[in-house]
Amino acid sequence: MSEEKSLNFIEEIVEADLSSGKYQSIVTRFPPEPNGYLHIGHAKSICLNFGLANKYGGKTNLRFDDTNPVTEDTEYVESIKDDVRWLGFNWAEERYASDYFEQLYGFAIKLIEKGLAYVDDSTSEAIAQQKGTPTQAGTNSPFRDRSVAENLELFKAMRAGQFKDGEKVLRAKIDMAHPNMHMRDPIIYRIKHAHHHRTGDQWCIYPMYDFAHGQSDAIENITHSVCTLEFIPHRALYDWFIEQLEIFPSKQYEFARLNMTYTVMSKRKLLQLVNEKYVNGWDDPRMSTISGMRRRGYTAEAIREFCDRIGIAKRDNLIDVGLLEFCVREHLNKIAVRRMVVFDPLKVVLTNYEGEGEVLWSENNPEDATAGNREIPFSKELYIERDDFMEVAPKKYFRLAPGQMVRLKSAYIIRCDEVVKDANGIITELHCTYIPESKSGSDTSGINVKGTLHWVSARHAVKAEVRLYDRLFKVEDVGNAEGDFKDHINTDSLEIINNAYAEPALAADSSDNRYQFLRKGYFCLDKDSTTEKLVFNRTVTLKDTWAKEVKKG
Ligand code: ATP
Ligand code: MG
């Protein structure tokens, strides 16, 4: 795209802050909680945060927001790092909110000393009661007026492990009648005797999200802390803590999270799909995870292009997954090497073909002059696709039929002379003649045919399994569909073709190649592939067949 793109609203803020001299350079962060694998929604946040720093010459930290010991794991930390790198971004520093536990504890002490936090013995039910409702003021906790000295002593005892889970919490002392419910004396520390994936058993009190996030931003001198819209009501609290603690004035900005048709995107739901075995792991090619998309053959370039095209909005919306597939197709068309694979083989015997066979050539990618050519063996016995033949063909059927001619891609024109069947009437092979003068590239036959078929040489072909994927959900807006999201799973989302034949060039290729199987779609090699059996994933179809089906239905 050559035309100048207009700035999104966050870029406008950044440009204003730079030109006013408020900042000399910007610092952003991507702050995943390591409680699952990253999904395409995170990719949007990654592209935004790293994109801002790249564009304006700043830096981006990767910060693991690991303040919840129960759901987090180092497996997730590693997968997140892999995915961010694969998407093409480098972080300035790798940070962990848990590295700040001591500092955060100090911040809590400071609040207590300022008379702005207190230890509360109320039960969680009582605290919920005290909160009031959006239209009704809350009520003060009976523990709200403890002295600073008592609060300090109790908070230290909380840290020392003298209480059980839930026995006490630390709350900020703000205003129980505040119109923003988040400002009604929010809990900032809770007791949790749980093992943490990094700090082990060092702590039994953990800061709440609101007491960790903004302060971590401030510790790292984050200038623009970008998050999704649901944090708008948290912003007042974010600012309040920073002001009271007199720390670096990070600012929070919110944009609309990515929602996509036929897809779920919350880690909690994705975890259910994995645990309840609706899919084969976090990197199942049907998942909306980065690792699933990578395994399916999506490219980082295509995902970045998609994130760029959807832009940054201030209102929630639902993006058509077809747009992502469009971006994938557009990129793969440029880089995928062309190959021939027959999914449902029907044997063709060329009765007039003599000799051992020959080597033909075909270009790897007509879209890319530098991609070169490949060898394709041709011989007397070939396979074509069973559904490229019809014994009784309608008018305007341009594929193979008795007495009819087609071109075999990059090879010869053949004519079908005879149909051979077994005792049950199933067609077992076709006897055809080939036209020697019709060789692609030096065709002097003068014969014009309308149909071109893909094919493989029977003797040279290699066996392959091909996995075809469909949408994992049957409804467009899964998030707002009735009932449980799992009620809407498409149980036919995986079709396995296990008797395909691939041209031999595929056996020798490197694992990260992307392919266009002629007339079939875009494919990549799966990690389940072995030297005995190639396994391919269909990345995306050649055209948006789904859009048509929906209209027909
Ligand atoms: P989930 O609900 O999937 O667990 P989350 O927001 O809890 O998502 P985090 O690990 O806390 O996940 O998110 C890391 C960053 O990614 C946050 O800044 C968050 O706002 C952003 N993010 C998460 N989901 C999306 C999405 N669908 N679109 C855009 N940004 C997202
Ligand atoms: Mg979260």
Predicted confidence (pLDDT) per residue in 291-312, tens digit: 999 999 999 999 999 999 999 9
- Domain 341-454 in the same topology as domain 267-337+464-552: yes
Pick the CATH number of 341-454 from 2.102.10.10, 1.10.10.10, 2.10.10.90, 2.40.240.10: 2.40.240.10
What digits encode the pLDDT tens for the residues 61-104?
Answer: 999 999 998 887 889 999 999 999 999 999 999 999 999 999 99
What digits encode the pLDDT tens for the residues 260-295?
Answer: 999 999 999 999 999 999 999 999 999 999 999 999
CA distances from 295 to 72, 125, 216, 292, 528 (A): 24, 46, 34, 5, 11
- Strands 514-517, 337-339: pairing kind: parallel
How confident is the model over 97-126, as a mean pLDDT? 98
- pLDDT at position 547 is 59
Q: Which two tokens stand for residue 357?
A: 């066979």
Domain parsing of the chain, residue ranges: 9-255, 267-337+464-552, 341-454
Of 263, 264, 239, 273, the closest CA to residue 253 belongs to: 239
Distance, C-alpha 183 to centroid of its chain: 35
The CATH topology of domain 267-337+464-552 is Ribosomal Protein L25; Chain P (2.40.240)
CA distances from 119 to 13, 169, 204, 360 (A): 39, 6, 15, 81
Contact 416, 404 (CB under 8 A): yes
Q: Is the CB of 266 under 6 A from ligand 1?
A: yes
Alpha carbon nearest to ligand 1 atom 23, residue: 42
Query: Which of 367-376, 415-424, 523-532 reaches the highest mean pLDDT?
Result: 415-424
How confident is the model over 394-407, as a mean pLDDT? 96
Alpha carbon nearest to ligand 1 atom 10, residue: 32
- pLDDT at position 492 is 96
How confident is the model over 31-45, as a mean pLDDT? 97
Closest atom of ligand 1 to 45 CA is: 30
How confident is the model over 13-20, as a mean pLDDT? 98
Q: Work out the percent of the chain whose per-residue pLDDT is above 90.
A: 93
- Strands 345-350, 381-385: pairing kind: antiparallel
Ligand 1 centroid – CA 270 distance (Å): 13
Of 201, 190, 204, the closest CA to residue 161 belongs to: 204
- Ligand 1 pocket test, candidate residues 37, 42, 231, 267, most atoms within 8 A of CB: 42
Ligand 1 centroid – CA 43 distance (Å): 9
- HEC sequence for 73-95: CHHHHHHHHHHHHHHCCCCCCEE
5 vs 2: which has the higher pLDDT = 5
Q: Is the CB of 265 under 6 A from ligand 1?
A: yes
In the predicted structure, residue 551 carries a pLDDT above the cut 50:
no
- pLDDT at position 510 is 73
Alpha carbon nearest to ligand 1 atom 16, residue: 42
- pLDDT at position 544 is 79
Distance, C-alpha 15 to centroid of its chain: 30
How confident is the model over 192-204, as a mean pLDDT? 96
Alpha carbon nearest to ligand 1 atom 8, residue: 266
The CATH topology of domain 9-255 is Rossmann fold (3.40.50)
Residue 370 contacts by C-beta under 8 Å, 6 or more apart in sequence? none
How confident is the model over 512-535, as a mean pLDDT? 93
Q: Is 15 a catalytic residue?
A: no
Ligand 1 centroid – CA 164 distance (Å): 31
- Strands 251-255, 258-260: pairing kind: unpaired
- pLDDT at position 73 is 85
- pLDDT at position 553 is 36
Three-state SS for 30?
Answer: strand
Q: Is the CB of 258 under 6 A from ligand 1?
A: yes
Closest atom of ligand 1 to 34 CA is: 10
- pLDDT at position 509 is 78
Q: Is the CB of 228 under 6 A from ligand 1?
A: yes
In the predicted structure, residue 436 carries a pLDDT above the cut 50:
yes
In the predicted structure, residue 546 carries a pLDDT above the cut 90:
no
Contact 162, 205 (CB under 8 A): no
- Judged on CB neighbours under 10 Å (0-12, 13-18, 19+), 275 is exposed
Q: What are phi and psi of 348, to 5 degrees?
A: -120, 125
Q: Is 305 a catalytic residue?
A: no
Catalytic residue selected from 33, 150, 254, 381 = 33
- pLDDT at position 550 is 47
127 vs 543: which has the higher pLDDT = 127
* Whether pTM exceeds 0.85: yes
548: pLDDT confidence band, cut at 50, 70 and 90? low
The distance in angstroms from the start CA to the end CA of the chain is 35
Mean pLDDT of the chain: 95
2: pLDDT confidence band, cut at 50, 70 and 90? very low
490: pLDDT confidence band, cut at 50, 70 and 90? very high
Q: Is 33 a catalytic residue?
A: yes
How confident is the model over 513-536, as a mean pLDDT? 94
- Judged on CB neighbours under 10 Å (0-12, 13-18, 19+), 135 is exposed
Distance, C-alpha 172 to centroid of its chain: 38
552: pLDDT confidence band, cut at 50, 70 and 90? very low
Alpha carbon nearest to ligand 1 atom 2, residue: 266
In the predicted structure, residue 1 carries a pLDDT above the cut 70:
no
In the predicted structure, residue 163 carries a pLDDT above the cut 80:
yes
Closest atom of ligand 1 to 269 CA is: 3
- Ligand 1 pocket test, candidate residues 29, 45, 60, most atoms within 8 A of CB: 45
How confident is the model over 164-188, as a mean pLDDT? 98
Q: Pick the ligand that lies closest to the CA of residue 31.
A: 1
Catalytic residue selected from 59, 159, 257, 294 = 257
Q: Is the CB of 71 under 6 A from ligand 1?
A: no
- HEC sequence for 170-210: EEECCCCCCCCHHHCCCEEEEECCCCECCCECCCCEEECHH
Of 291, 368, 288, the closest CA to residue 324 belongs to: 288
How confident is the model over 336-351, as a mean pLDDT? 98
In the predicted structure, residue 532 carries a pLDDT above the cut 90:
no
Alpha carbon nearest to ligand 1 atom 22, residue: 42
- Amino acid occupying residue 67: T
Q: Is the CB of 138 under 6 A from ligand 1?
A: no
Q: Is the CB of 227 under 6 A from ligand 1?
A: yes
Ligand 1 centroid – CA 50 distance (Å): 15
Contact 97, 67 (CB under 8 A): yes
531: pLDDT confidence band, cut at 50, 70 and 90? confident
